[in-house]
């Protein structure tokens, strides 16, 4: 899921990453809306809010919205910066670090919300800021390592692309285009994963409240550990298969003590009687005469 980069990634790599991360983004977006009455997985609507607050002259809100947008941007920048500059230490490590940072941000939100949160405006603004940064990290990672094929935190572009592709599939030549079909599969899976994550968050939120962020962190940990678990299981299967296919050494027959003595008795003196008899050769003429 995180081992390959850009064009080396397969469709299955992007499907696994896109569906799981879109599911997480859907959960986070609904959780932020239910708790803070604001969305956090995209910034499209906040540009409109920025313009509206600017016309009203509410410059505090203008600065706050600019800060949220900037943090989403900063998260995306940070994520791809790590991917580019940490690749020498290992591609998997470079891809896993942004996910771990996102997990840390959302864990802070969950812990603070459960044990400290007093529902003040300032607290809400700060917690939302952390969530914007986390979602920027996620979107920057998925888009960066997939060559911009996977974007998981919003559905505006996905809805547009899916509509275009479905219209193209009304012609047979486009339906037979494997690249377009794979792209449609990826977008559709991301689309439905986001919706499923949003529905899941809405169903479990009444019972978990801020604990919903712990569930998100567990899913992010699954993203990080997936490749480790997969490679470990693959090596185990290959090892077991190699042991089964390797030829077993021939078994040595068991001999009794009497048999072992019979085998070793002719060689006690260091000479083989059979060898001596064979090396002696035929009897000489003198020996034949004497015998006669």
Q: What local confidence, expressed as pLDDT, does residue 54 receive?
A: 95
% of the chain with per-residue pLDDT over 70: 83
Asked if the structure places residue 286 within a domain, the reply is no
Please name the residue that has the structure tokens 């919300």. 113
Average pLDDT over residues 280-284: 53
Pull the structure tokens for residue 44. Answer: 């499209």
What's the structural domain count of the chain?
1
Q: What is the CATH number of the domain that holds 126?
A: 1.20.1250
Average pLDDT, the chain: 87
Q: What local confidence, expressed as pLDDT, does residue 289 receive?
A: 45
pLDDT class of 248 with cuts at 50, 70, 90: low
- Give the integer Cα–Cα distance in Å for 161 and 22: 16
Residue 140 predicted with pLDDT over 70: yes
Asked if the structure places residue 288 within a domain, the reply is no
Residue 92 dihedral angles phi and psi, to the nearest 5°: -60, -45
- Give the integer Cα–Cα distance in Å for 191 and 68: 24
Asked if the structure places residue 242 within a domain, the reply is no
Q: What local confidence, expressed as pLDDT, does residue 237 receive?
A: 83
Asked if the structure places residue 165 within a domain, the reply is yes
- Give the integer Cα–Cα distance in Å for 38 and 125: 10
Residue 244 predicted with pLDDT over 60: yes
Say what the alpha-carbon torsion angle 246, 252, 253, 256 is, to the nearest 10 degrees: -150
Average pLDDT over residues 185-195: 96
Asked if the structure places residue 243 within a domain, the reply is no
Residue 132 predicted with pLDDT over 90: yes
% of the chain with per-residue pLDDT over 90: 68
Q: What local confidence, expressed as pLDDT, does residue 239 receive?
A: 80
Asked if the structure places residue 161 within a domain, the reply is yes
Q: What local confidence, expressed as pLDDT, does residue 8 receive?
A: 87
- Residue-number span of the structural domain to which 172 is assigned: 6-237
pLDDT class of 258 with cuts at 50, 70, 90: low
Contact 134, 102 (CB under 8 A): yes
Average pLDDT over residues 141-151: 92
- Give the integer Cα–Cα distance in Å for 282 and 111: 103
Residue 175 predicted with pLDDT over 70: yes
Asked if the structure places residue 168 within a domain, the reply is yes
Residue 5 predicted with pLDDT over 60: yes
Q: What local confidence, expressed as pLDDT, does residue 75 receive?
A: 97
């Amino acid at each position: 899921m995180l081992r390959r980069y850009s064009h080396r990634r397969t469709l299955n790599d992007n499907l696994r990453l896109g569906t799981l991360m879109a599911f997480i983004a859907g959960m986070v977006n609904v959780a932020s809306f239910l708790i803070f009455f604001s969305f956090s997985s995209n910034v499209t609507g906040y540009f409109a809010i920025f313009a509206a607050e600017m016309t009203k002259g509410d410059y505090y809100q203008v600065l706050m919205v600019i800060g949220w947008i900037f943090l989403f941007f900063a998260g995306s920048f940070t994520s791809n910066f790590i991917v580019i500059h940490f690749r020498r230490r290992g591609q998997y490590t470079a891809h896993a670090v942004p996910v771990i940072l996102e997990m840390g941000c959302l864990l802070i939100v969950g812990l603070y919300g459960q044990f400290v949160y007093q529902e003040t405006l300032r607290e809400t603004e700060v917690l939302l800021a952390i969530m914007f940064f986390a979602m920027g990290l996620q979107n920057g990672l998925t888009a960066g390592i997939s060559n911009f094929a996977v974007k998981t935190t919003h559905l505006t572009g996905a809805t547009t692309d899916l509509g275009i592709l479905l219209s193209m599939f009304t012609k047979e030549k486009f339906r037979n285009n494997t690249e377009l079909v794979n792209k449609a599969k990826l977008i559709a899976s991301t689309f439905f994963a986001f919706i499923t994550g949003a529905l899941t968050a809405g169903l479990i939120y009444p019972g978990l409240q801020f604990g919903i962020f712990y569930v998100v962190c567990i899913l992010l940990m699954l993203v990080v550990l997936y490749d480790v678990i997969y490679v470990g299981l693959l090596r185990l299967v290959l090892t077991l298969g190699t042991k089964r296919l390797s030829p077993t050494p021939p078994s040595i027959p068991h001999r009794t003590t009497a048999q072992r003595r019979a085998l070793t008795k002719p060689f006690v003196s260091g000479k083989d009687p059979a060898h001596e008899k064979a090396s002696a050769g035929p009897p000489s003429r003198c020996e034949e005469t004497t015998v006669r």
